[in-house]
Amino acid sequence: MAIKIDEIKLTLNDYKTDVHNDWCPGCGDFGILQSVQMALFELRVPRHKAVIFSGIGCSGKTPHFVNVYGIHTLHGRALPFAIGARLANPELNVIIVGGDGDGLGIGVGHFVSSGRRNVNLTYIVYNNAVYGLTKGQASPTLKLGMKTKSLPKPNINDAVNPIALALVSGYTFIARGYSYDVKHLKEIIKKAILHKGLSFIDVLQPCPTYNDINTKDWYMGKDRVDPKTGKPMPRIYKLEEEGYDPYVYNLDDGELEKKWIQVIEKSLEWGDRIPVGIFYVNEMTSSYEERIRDVISDYFENPPVKQRISTDGGLSNVNLERMLAEFSTRLG
C-alpha cells in the first residue's frame, strides 16, 4: 500500500538530503538553506509537491541539499524553467534560488520579464555582491568603486538596486532577509510561499571567502561602537519594528503610488541603516495563472498536467473536426 505523506509525521530532517555540502565554512548560504528547509517543514508542504529550481554558482547547489524535487538549471535561467513547470502544474509549490549574478546579471532579462507575469512563485536571491564560484569577480550588486579582496581594481560598474528593480518589474511580494537571521528569514520565506503571485526575497548573504567588505561583522556594525553603550551598532534593522506597512489594500485612490514611493525610499537605504523585512505585498494584481484562467476557464481544475492526451487504446483523444472544418474544401 502506498504511504501517504500526510499520514506520516514529518520532521525537519525529512527535508534534508545526505548530500555532502561543499560550501565554504561560515558561508551565508547555510542560513538560507536552513531557512528554506524550515519554511517547507513548518508549512508541511508535502515533499513531492515542492520543487526547488536553481541557477548556477554556489547557490545553484542548494536543491541537492533539500529533499524535495530539485532542479539545478542553467546560469540565469532558473526563472523560466520554474515558470514552465508551475504553469504546467499549478499545484506545485515552486521556489527558485539563485545568486545575484545569476538573477541580476546574466538572468536580468528573465528577472524583469517574470515580474510582468506574476506567476505564483517564490524567488530567493543570494546577494553577496561577488561571483564566488569563479573566484570573486564583482557581481551586479557590488557598489561602484568598491574593491573586494579578489578584485584587481575597484568596481567600475554601479550596482543594481534589487528591491527597486523587483518593484518596477511587477513583483507583488518584495522582501529582504539576512542569512544569519534564520528565524526572521524563515518567516519571510513562509509568507512568500503563501503569497499569491511572484515573490522576491533579496537575502544579504556574506561571502566569507571573497567579499571582505560586506561581512557579517560589517552588517552587525562591529566596526562602529556606540560611544554610550560600548556596543556595536548593527546596520541591519527590521522594517516591521518601525511600524512599516508593506500591504497594498486597494489599487485606487493613489494607494499603489504611495506604496511604490515608500518601497523606493526604503530600497535606497544602505550603509548606516539597512532595512530587512517585507517591503511590499500586493495581492490585488492578478496572477498569471488567473490570467490564463480568463482564457482557459477550467485551467485550475484541468491544467496541462492533468489532461489526458490519449484514449485507453493509445490513440489521440482530440476531436479535430471543428478545426478541420475551417480548412475544408467541400462547400456546405
Partner 1 sequence: MKIDQLSWMIGGPQGSGVDSGANIFSRAVAYGGLYVYGKREYHSNIKGEHSNYVVRVDSKPVLSHLDEIDFLVTFDPETLFRHIHKVVSGGVLIYDVNQENISIDKIPTIDKAANKRIKAFLSERGVGFSVGDVVNYAKQNGILTYGVSYSKLLEELAERLNNPQIARMDVMINVMAVAISLALLQYDFKFVQEAIKYVFKAKKKVADLNIESARFVYEYVLKNFVQTNYKLEAVDRNDDYILIQGYQASALGKIAGGCRFQTYYPITPASDESVYLEDNAVFDLVDGEGKGSIVVVQTEDEISAITMAIGAGLAGVRASTATSGPGFSLMAEGLGWAGMNEVPVVVTLYQRGGPSTGLPTRHSQEDLLFAVHTGHGEFPRIVYASGDIEEIFYDVVKTFNYAERYQLPVIHLIDKAMANAIMTVKKFDISKIVIDRGDLVESFNDGVYKRFKFTETGISPRARLGVENAVFWNTGDEHDEFGHITEDHEVRTMMVDKRMKKLEVALNEIPNDDKAVIYGDEDAEYVVLSWGSTKGAILEAMEKLKGDGYKLKFIQVKLLHPFPRDLVIDMLGSSKYLIDVEQNKMGQFGMILKREILRDIDYYVLKYNGRPMSLSEVYLALKLILDKKANKIQVLNHGD
Residue ranges in 95-124 that form contacts with partner 1 under rule CB under 8 A: 109-110, 112-113
Count of other CB atoms within 10 angstroms of residue 305: 12
Task: State the nearest-atom distance from the C-beta of 189 to partner 1, in Å.
Answer: 20
Bridge partners for 122 per DSSP = 95, 199
* 291 near partner 1 (CB under 8 A): no
Q: Which residues pair with 28 in a beta bridge?
A: none
Interface of this chain with partner 1, residues 77 to 96, rule: CB under 8 A: 77, 79-89, 91-92
Q: Is 323 in the site for partner 1 (CB under 8 A)?
A: yes
C-alpha cell read off for 45: 508542504
> What are the angstrom distances between the C-alpha of 295 and each of 152, 289, 299, 301?
54, 10, 8, 14
Cβ at position 97, least distance to partner 1 in Å: 13
Of the residues 134, 157, 268, 311, which one makes contact with partner 1 according to CB under 8 A: 311
H helices of 11-139, in order, are 29-42, 78-88, 100-101, 108-117
Kindly state the helix (H) or strand (E) to which residue 265 belongs, with its residue range. Answer: helix 255-267
Among 57, 63, 103, 177, binds partner 1 (CB under 8 A): 63
CB of 301 to partner 1, least distance (A): 10
Mark residues 234-273: x for contact with partner 1 by CB under 8 A, - for none.
Answer: ----------------------------------------
Query: Contact between 40 and partner 1 (CB under 8 A)?
Result: no
Chain center to CA of 285: 18
Sign for the CA dihedral angle at 294, 295, 301, 306 comes to negative
Q: Is 299 in the site for partner 1 (CB under 8 A)?
A: yes
CB of 313 to partner 1, least distance (A): 9
Residues pairing with 203 in the sheet: 126, 177
Of 31-39, 156-164, 185-193, 323-331, the window that binds partner 1 (rule: CB under 8 A) is: 323-331
As a dihedral over the C-alpha atoms of residue 281, residue 269, residue 188, residue 214, rounded to 10 degrees, the angle is: 150
Does 11 bind partner 1 (CB under 8 A)? Our answer is: no
Work out which of 70, 132, 136, 206 binds partner 1, going by CB under 8 A: 70
**Interface with partner 1 (CB under 8 A), residue from 10, 16, 24, 74:** 74
The radius of gyration of the chain from alpha carbons, rounded to an integer in Å, stands at 22
Near partner 1 by CB under 8 A: residue from 16, 64, 147, 196: 64
Task: Decide if residue 201 touches partner 1 (CB under 8 A).
Answer: no
Q: How far apart are CA 186 and CA 42, in angstroms?
A: 9
Binding partner 1 by CB under 8 A: which of 27, 36, 51, 95? Answer: 51
Measured from the CB atom, the residue of 284 and 292 that comes closer to partner 1 is 292
| Separation CA 180–CA 276 (nearest Å) | 12
If residue 249 lies in a helix (H) or strand (E), which one and from where to where? Answer: none
Task: Tell me if 168 contacts partner 1 by CB under 8 A.
Answer: no
Q: How many residues bind partner 1 (CB under 8 A)?
A: 73
> Which listed range, 64-72, 97-105, 190-198, 258-266, lies at the site for partner 1 (CB under 8 A)?
64-72
Rule CB under 8 A: which of 122-151 touch partner 1? none
Q: Dihedral, CA atoms, 178, 127, 276, 285, nearest 10 degrees?
A: -130
Beta bridge partners of 280: 174
Is residue 313 classed exposed, middle or buried when 0-12, 13-18 and 19+ CB atoms within 10 A define those classes?
Answer: exposed
Residue 184 binds partner 1, judged by CB under 8 A: no
